[in-house]
Structure formats: structure tokens, C-alpha cells
Structure 1
Amino acid sequence: MPTRTGYKPGVPCWVDLASTDLTASVAFYEALFGWRAAFDTCGEAGVYGRFSQGGRLVAGIGPTFSPDRPSAWNTYFATGDAESATERVKEAGGRVAVGPVQVFDEGTMAVFQDPEGASFLVWEPVRHQGAQLVDEPVALCWSELVCRDPEGARAFYGEVFGWSARSLTGPGGGDRAEWLLDGRPVAGLRAMNGVPSPPGRGTPSLGERVAPSPGGAPSVPEAGTRSVPEAGTPPVPDRGAPSVPDRGAPSVPDRGAPCSPDAPHWLAVFAVAGCEATAVLAERCGGAVVSPPRDLPAGRHAVLADPCGAVFAVMAPSPPGGARPALPSSGESGPPLNGQIAPRG
């Protein structure tokens, strides 16, 4: 897939990890996905890193605000105007946690909580446009809101992003829906029916990290293309501790109170070639399986946690034209996973 250079407002455009242990997190994701990490110092903002795959940006990583904050993945949505997005959040009944704030010459961000407390961010790009690789193995392929009040969420996000929602049916559909923007799926919605916490982990929460400095495409060594390991793959050999700079003492706004394991949250989903094999490898690398692999309308899906307790999901998507009964045709050879396959304005 060509390098992505932009996103339509309202589409998930970036994810980053707030980590309590940068070294452990980098080692885990490099082993699990084959990513490579590069860090910059950001003055008073501490440090911020970018994961790449094949030289293209896939996600960010930075320290949590303080050592007592849990690790978590954060989801960003593109916007053309962070100020107006902030006003819409307020009018719709959400909370503004941070911003809007300008992040150097990269863009403007704001951190919000919806009426149920799920954290999410918007990104108004300048130099940094977002993830350069999506919808391919070991890249972001989907974002899903897990909440207790789907009807309230439909109303709130409809006002903020102009989304509509379409309920899913068929095997694995359950209490799930898709968010649609201009008739195309951009994210998911799932009713919370008891979300298990990672065994032996701390409490995960979303949106609990320092204000990022995503940065443009860094000079990252070419990582090549790495396929997802198949079942029976031996443990990944230790490559030594990654080069992670001292986190320093960031002087940026807090992102709000941490949430409990069963609190509403946005879940980042990464595409993989094999769901079971990835889950096995995650455990071998020190992570945990929160929800074991199972079939959903869009593919084989599992929820995992990294060694620091940050929760994320992986999915082996069903092939285009394959077993995806809940996703009507969008005029292409099977609908896109998150509305990011077709070119955007």
C-alpha cells in the first residue's frame, strides 16, 4: 500500500502508547510486530518516539505523565479545526481534558472524554499527518469504542464527528455497530458486557500520557517487511535493550483520572496475518491474552495486553469478498476496514 499522506476529518489517523516503561514497551512491540522505534527529545515535554514498519510510521510512544499512571493506547481522530472540534465536544456533553494545544510545528491536539468517560483525541495536522501505513499486517486497521450506553454514544459522536451508526448482524455481530462517515465505515462500537482485565496486570486506562510530539517521518533504519510469526515460532531472540532516552520530567497538562478495567474506552486494533500465532507470541514476549481469538464479522480477533498492562487488539481480517456477512458492499471489492483504503481529500 502507498504511504498515506493525509486523512479526512473524523477518521482515525494516529495511535500512540503511553508507557510506564519505555524500554520494556519498545522491546515487546519490536518483537511482536517487527516495528522499529526512534526517539527524539522534546525539551520540557520529555521524549517522544515513533514506531515504524518498513520505514513508514505506524504509531507513537511516550512516557506516562507520572509513574503511578497506567500504560495505555490512545486514539486520535483527524480534524481540520481543533478549536471547532472542542466546541462541538462541549456542546454535545463531553469534557475537554487538554487543549487545544499546538505541538511544536507538527500540529494541534486536544484531549477529550465523552459523556461516559472514554478518552479520545483530535489531531489538526501541520507537518505530521498521521500514520503512514494502515490496513496492512502490523499496522492500525480499526478503532472501536467499548461503552455501556451505545445510544448515548451514537448521539455524542454524531454531533462531534458527523458519524452515523449501522448495527452489525450475523455471526459474531452481537451488540456491535459500525460508525459511518459519508456512508463508509470508519470505526466500531461495542456494548460493554463485562470486559475482563488482563491477568496479573495493573488497571489499564485510555488517554493517560503526556502531550505528544508526533513529528514528521524520522530517519528510521529500514526494517524491511516482516510477516507475522506462524504457530510454533520459537521465542524471539533478545536483541539487547533498545536505545531509549531518559524520560526526563515532562511539564505538560495531566490527561485526567485513570479509569477502571471495565470503564468505557477506545480500543486500537492492529492487523495481523495470524491471530492465534500473534496471541501466542504476545505471551512469550511477556504480554497477556485478555480475550482469546474468536471470529467477528470482519475477521479473527483477540484482545491482548503488553507487559506494562496497555490493552490493544489484533485482527486477521477476512479476505475481501469472503465471510463478512455483516458488512454490505461499499462499491469496492469488499468494504475497507476503517474507511482508510480509498484516497481522501
Structure 2
Amino acid sequence: MAVQPEGTPCWADAMFSDVEGAKSFYGEVLGWTFGEASSEYGNYTQAYSGGKAVAAVVPPMPGQEGQSAWCLYLASPDAAATAEKIRSEGGEVLMEPMKVGDFGSMALVRDPGGAVFGIWQAGVHEGFESIGEPGAYAWAEVFTREPEKSDAFFPAVFPFTAQQVQDDAVDFRVFNVDGNPVLGRMRMTDDFPPEVPSYVNVYFAVENCDEAVSKATKHGAVLRFGPMDSPFGRFAALSDPQGASFSVIDMKATQGDMPEMADVS
């Protein structure tokens, strides 16, 4: 796939203290196969679905051990400039922009509400080779307790326009690039334990949501929510055996009418 427009999700990876365990789990649940670990880049290992690169797993760097989590990367034509913008808009740069050989340049950042994500300036590695197909990235949402901070921050840093779902029961917003939805923003309710910080929830597409959930729980995952029908597909939220949160969605199994959306500035 070509380099994605600025602000569009373009890659996802996760650190796992037990990389072999992660490979086994995601291989079973999402059908991933894995390339050779790149010792030059901290044993970074790409995951493939149908022969196309869809994500990566990596062991933690010394001193970086902790909770496993998926990291979503947003495309940037200039990682250094985007990092500066993030700072000026009240975000934090956790890892300064750095070149990763000729693959590209990356940075790790945090929005003012506490959600961590990455920036990717493509070199020869342009990002996802497949999107929306079973086993590949499908969608992502920023879950935050302080939506007003995210709502101001993201369109100030990226060329986003925003739409708000017109439903009093849910506080949900969609960010668009060139009229295409690229990222959701969900207010965290009291259903979330207070110790759970803001985070970016990554969805992977599957052939059948219920079967994926069954496989995941059989292999040690915890079901957090769902499976549930929606106009976007049947989905469920899980934590993998090492604690990394992710969701699965069958985008063919849609049910109900699309929600009404209103443009917001």
C-alpha cells in the first residue's frame, strides 16, 4: 500500500516479555505468520496475514519491561515537525524522533489525556500492506476520561475534521482525513476501573467474531466486552494473555442503522 495521508493509522506493534507466547497466541487467533527477528533492531519481528505485513511484535528493551500494550502509529510526512506540534498542543514526546535505518523515522508520544501512540514517517517501510481484511488492522479508538482534551488536541496536530455521534447514551467522536473516517474517540465510562489509563484500542478484522473470541479465551485471553452487534460489524474487546488490550471485529456482520453524525469544529 502507498504511504498513508498525514494522521492516518499506518502501523501497529506491541512489546511482549514473552514474544514466542505472543506469536503463538496471535497465530492461533488471527492466523498470523511471522518473519525472522531483526537482531539489528531489537529482535523486531513482523507479523503477516495472507503474506502481507500487518503488525509487529518485539521484546522490551532493558528497563522497559512492564504492561504489554498495542501501539498505533499515525502517519507523518515529518516526524520531527509533528513531535514539535504535539509538544506545543500540550502533548508529551516520550521518545524523540529517531531514524530506523532506511525503514523510516518514529517517535512515541502521549496526548494531553494520557493516551500513548506513535508517529511514523515512512521510508521503505510504508506501513500496513493490508487493511480491513481478516487478520489485518481494521480500526482504532482513543479511549479517554478527558475527551475535551483529545478533541482539541488531535485536530490541532493532524489535518482532522471531526463528527460527533448524536446519541445522549454515548460520547463518541470520529476524526476524518479528506472525508474518510480514520480514528474514533470514546469517553471512558465508570465501567472502566479507575486504574485503567487512557489508551488507544486497536481493532483487528476477523472472519467470525464469536469464533475468534472462543479461540482467544481458549488460549488465555480475557473477554472484556461483547461480542456485540453494531452497524459497523460484530465486535468484542479482549486482553491477551500478557495483558495487551485489543478488539476483534467481523465487518461483514453489520446490524442496525448507522448513527447520526454532526460536524463539529
Q: Please, what TM-score do these two structures have when normalized by structure 2?
A: 0.91
Indicate whether 1:50 and 2:27 are aligned. no
Q: Deviations over 1:65-105 (max 9, x none)?
A: 34741111000011101111011101100011111100111
Indicate whether 1:184 and 2:118 are aligned. no
Q: Distance in 2 between matches of 1:182 and 1:5?
A: 16
Indicate whether 1:21 and 2:52 are aligned. no
Secondary structure of the residue that 1:40 maps to in structure 2?
coil
Q: Distance in 2 between matches of 1:136 and 1:327?
A: 26
My pick for the range that moved more, 176-185 or 90-99, is 176-185
| Aligned residue identity for 1:193 | T
Shift of 1:318: 4.7
Indicate whether 1:78 and 2:75 are aligned. yes
Determine the structure 2 residue equivalent to 1:38: 35
Q: Deviations over 1:282-304 (max 9, x none)?
A: 01112111112123341222111
Instruction: Assess if the C-alpha contact under 8 Å between 2:9 and 2:72 holds in 1.
Output: yes
Determine the structure 2 residue equivalent to 1:236: none
Give aligned-pair identity as a percent.
Answer: 31
Q: Deviations over 1:12-55 (max 9, x none)?
A: 00001111100110000001111101133333x42100000111
Secondary structure of the residue that 2:44 maps to in structure 1?
strand
- 1:49-198 matches, cutoff 5 A: 49-65=45-61, 66=63, 68-169=65-166, 174-194=170-190, 196=192
Instruction: Assess if the C-alpha contact under 8 Å between 2:18 and 2:59 holds in 1.
Output: yes
- Whose strand fraction is larger, Structure 1's or Structure 2's? 2
Aligned pair count reads 260
| Aligned residue identity for 1:99 | E
Q: Distance in 1 between matches of 2:70 and 2:184?
A: 16
Q: Deviations over 1:268-323 (max 9, x none)?
A: 10111222221111011121111121233412221111111111011122568x64
Q: Which runs of 5+ in 1 are unaligned?
A: 198-259, 329-345
Task: Identify which of 230, 240, 250 aligns with 1:306.
Answer: 240
My pick for the range that moved more, 154-163 or 187-196, is 187-196
Distance 1:324 1:62, change over 3 A: farther
Q: Distance in 2 between matches of 1:299 and 1:111?
A: 30
| Aligned residue identity for 1:181 | V
Q: Distance in 1 between matches of 2:3 and 2:159?
A: 19
Q: Deviations over 1:180-200 (max 9, x none)?
A: 112221111100003547xxx
Task: Identify which of 8, 12, 27 aligns with 1:11.
Answer: 8
Distance 1:173 1:21, change over 3 A: farther
Determine the structure 1 residue equivalent to 2:228: 294
Larger radius of gyration: 1
Task: Identify which of 261, 270, 280 aligns with 2:204.
Answer: 270
Q: Deviations over 1:107-159 (max 9, x none)?
A: 00011111122111110011100010101112111010000121221110011
Distance 1:9 1:19, change over 3 A: same
Instruction: Assess if the C-alpha contact under 8 Å between 2:229 and 2:253 holds in 1.
Output: no
Instruction: Assess if the C-alpha contact under 8 Å between 2:141 and 2:200 holds in 1.
Output: yes
**Aligned CA-pair RMSD:** 2.1
Determine the structure 2 residue equivalent to 1:326: 259
Q: Distance in 2 between matches of 1:308 and 1:178?
A: 29
Q: Distance in 2 between matches of 1:169 and 1:296?
A: 16
Distance 1:93 1:11, change over 3 A: same
Q: Please, what TM-score do these two structures have when normalized by structure 1?
A: 0.71
Secondary structure of the residue that 1:32 maps to in structure 2?
helix
| Aligned residue identity for 1:81 | D
Q: Using CA pairs below 8 Å that are at least 6 residues apart, which structure has the higher relative contact order? A: 1
